[in-house]
Structure 1
Amino acid sequence: MQIRPLAAATTALGTILGFSALWLSAPTAHAAELRHGPTVIAHRGASAYAPENTLAAVDKADDLGIRWVENDVQRTKDGELVVIHDTNLKRTTDVEEVFPDRSPWKVSDFTLKEIRRLDAGSWFSPSYAGARVPTLEQYLDRVSDNHQKLLLEIKAPELYPGIERQTLRELRQGGWLDRYHVKHRLIIQAFSADSIKTVHSLRPDVKTGFLGTPAVADLPNYATFTDQINPNHKTVTREYVAAVHGFRGPHGRPLEVFTWTVDDGPTAARLAEYGVDGIISNKPDVIRDATREGSRAGGSAALAGAGAP
């Protein structure tokens, strides 16, 4: 008869300890989530440290331990896809020296063979002399070799009719449209809503992002074809991030916010506090360290608060 009260007491104690463990584990789990911070994306590769949109910039991001890289894709005169930001070749190559009589040196006025002659590294540093403008195929291969993930921007699609379909075809040929890549390693973005609508109509499974800051009243429309709203960081407020998160995108998940281009720690920490999902940066290591530090501080505060009466 004495065993029953003892068993009951043991059961009661176990229940109390169980509730205590649950109470303590909730803030602990939340703090663990906070430590990760927003996704950090290397803008045109780690472009503060290597010439933008080159394979060297992709490798530099990899050296820094950055998993996501962003790039820009355009089309040559003979229909090949190349990775370069500006719609002309002047700023990031020696095209004026190699082809002095071809002003205004638009990407679309040069064949791939001609663009391959250009030096895309010396403008940045003599140590990068001889770097080339990569084709999209070469870029995809390098990102794959590094086991990185890709935020691909279709640049100025109005200049290149059909570039969305062509880009998707190149992605498919490179193995980037299988289930794993689509789910975990690829996002396609553009400043053109029509271009993103086209990508979504051609491949509804692919995650997409719209570059800009649409009015909150227009977000329901955007949520039908894009998974992300990706604004300039100067336009981002806590209220805007919350508003974007309040809508579900075409895949049934809350819209995300990837903001650009942020190169200093304090700004990144503030944006992380606003709840942005990603930060695009020329100095991704700086942003990673700043947001992780802020997340750790937030996690510590959460744990301290959990212990208060």
Structure 2
Amino acid sequence: MSAGLFGLLDDIAALARLAAASIDDVGAAAGKATLKATGVVVDDTAVTPQYVHGIAAERELPIIKKIAIGSLRNKLLFILPAALLLSQFLPQALPVLLIIGGTYLAFEGAEKVWEFLHHHDDHVGDLETVEHTPHEEKQLVAGAVRTDFILSTEIMVIALDSVKDETFLARLAILVVVAIAITIGVYGVVAAIVKMDDVGLLLAQRRTSGVRALGRGLVAAMPKVLSFLSTVGIVAMLWVGGHILVVQLHELGWHAPYDAVHHLEHGAGGGLLGWLVNTACSAVVGLVVGAVVAVALHLLPHRGDDPAH
């Protein structure tokens, strides 16, 4: 009887080691998949602060929390099941869906460029906080979650591509880990950025003169940092949108834009300069496509208008 008990314990220990090894494999694969999507993760982090720029301080964290929950919902309830099913049964549909998403992202970026240029003179030097009604706050969060949906789709598809040789269940486990880790990482960083001025206020009340000076510096710098990140976020929309379009059109067989961008990138010598050239070209593509879509959408509602009126 004792021999049977020891045999059972051995079996349990073997299963535990196998489970631990599987967890380690999932963790390692999730780490690699997250690393591969780093570029889009950085863009996601840069895009989000613009949605709380100028918001009353007490509403910043609640809004970020709502956006983070929406982002996690996007990844786990919509993007992950759709990406897994499409990759399993209809992989050729993924590039088309990404092109639609990239076009929307480019449109969002172009719209924000237009708003910036059109209203720039009205808001120069205006850094006052804005009070939002619950309805306006809800719309703001909804807009941020829509934009996050496109960026999250790109992140999850990149991660999926890096683990496409794994079994279905392994891919599911890895992508769940990626979704949770990236969401916590992105919105944790965003929360830290937007609350840095509050940290500065606390430091400015300390007794040590050096700490007080650091605190005052943080308070003075954060409006400029948030304004800069807001601009970076707009450029990131255009870059990521254009990059998605160029790469996915290449996947579908239209190689000219991709080849032209990479020819310019290699002509710049690769490295950081090559990356900057690639980024600039993708941003231009995003701006052009986004502007065309924006103009079309703004003109279409007026097509039936009577010129006499």
Asked if Structure 1 and Structure 2 have the same fold, meaning a TM-score greater than 0.5 normalized by the shorter chain, the answer is no
| TM-score category of the 2 structures, normalised to the smaller one | under 0.3
TM-score norm. by structure 1 comes to 0.21
RCO greater where, 1 or 2, for CA within 8 Å and sep 6 or more?
Answer: 2
TM-score norm. by structure 2 comes to 0.21
The structure in which a higher percent of residues are strand is 1
The structure in which a higher percent of residues are helix is 2
